[in-house]
Structure 1
């Protein structure tokens, strides 16, 4: 059962300007693994990547209805890529399934996050294998 949907759109050039002007932006928004992945990109692809991660975290915060801050911090949310390039989102101590789609067009990045309640079998599996599905 879907329990939350969040959407966010960001200007890639605006995020790029913030990244270039504020040294702490990357380390406050992105995890170490995300920064490593970003470092493999060059030129406009670097800013696209960072804007996509920022947008995904914003969309996640909207899907939960909590925002960023008190219950969930920037560093609690991690958006990485599977081997085939598909983005995945993982959140520390978050018991629900999350799905993310990130798309770029021109100077815009649009992200959608869906949160789904886990089945009873998945909940039991998480108790047995606690590392599955969380950071």
Structure 2
């Protein structure tokens, strides 16, 4: 079966959270690897917004497939050598293979959006 999740994030909202709660916000939502990936980027809030949208979209797809107790911190949005994003879900025993999760992230100056497709064989 195919399950879909999508999300859109206002970049200014993430930027405001970073300014007000930087360390707390980062450590609550993002893994050390995710933080390291964006720390070298020029527009940190844009990249974090995309990752945040991807986490939310992933959670929606997983929950619509019947997964429960999915936390944003356990969903990692990492990058392949070519820069393409991919998803790793930690501490989810039922999800053995995250190759079944396909991710696309896009952004403008104001918004970041992500869509996740989860394909679970019958």
TM class, shorter-length:
0.7 to 0.9
| Alignment of structure 1 residues 1-135 onto 2, 5 Å | 1-2=1-2, 4-22=3-21, 23-42=23-42, 45-65=43-63, 71-92=69-90, 93=92, 94-96=95-97, 97-118=100-121
Q: TM-score, normalised by structure 1?
A: 0.77
* Moved segments of 4+, more than 4 Å: none
Please give the alpha-carbon distance, in whole angstroms, between the structure 1 residues aligned to 2:24 and 2:111. Answer: 23
Please give the alpha-carbon distance, in whole angstroms, between the structure 1 residues aligned to 2:51 and 2:6. Answer: 13
Q: Which runs of 5+ in 1 are unaligned?
A: 120-135
Please give the alpha-carbon distance, in whole angstroms, between the structure 2 residues aligned to 1:9 and 1:46. Answer: 17
Please give the alpha-carbon distance, in whole angstroms, between the structure 1 residues aligned to 2:25 and 2:8. Answer: 18
Give the paired residue count.
113
Does structure 2 conserve the Cα–Cα contact (< 8 Å) formed by 1:80 and 1:89?
Answer: yes
Question: Post-superposition shift, 1:106?
Answer: 2.3
Higher relative contact order (CA 8 A, sep 6+): 2
Q: Output the aligned Cα RMSD.
A: 1.7
Does structure 2 conserve the Cα–Cα contact (< 8 Å) formed by 1:95 and 1:118?
Answer: no
Q: TM-score, normalised by structure 2?
A: 0.85
Question: Post-superposition shift, 1:38?
Answer: 1.2
Question: Post-superposition shift, 1:75?
Answer: 2.0
Please give the alpha-carbon distance, in whole angstroms, between the structure 1 residues aligned to 2:11 and 2:81. Answer: 24
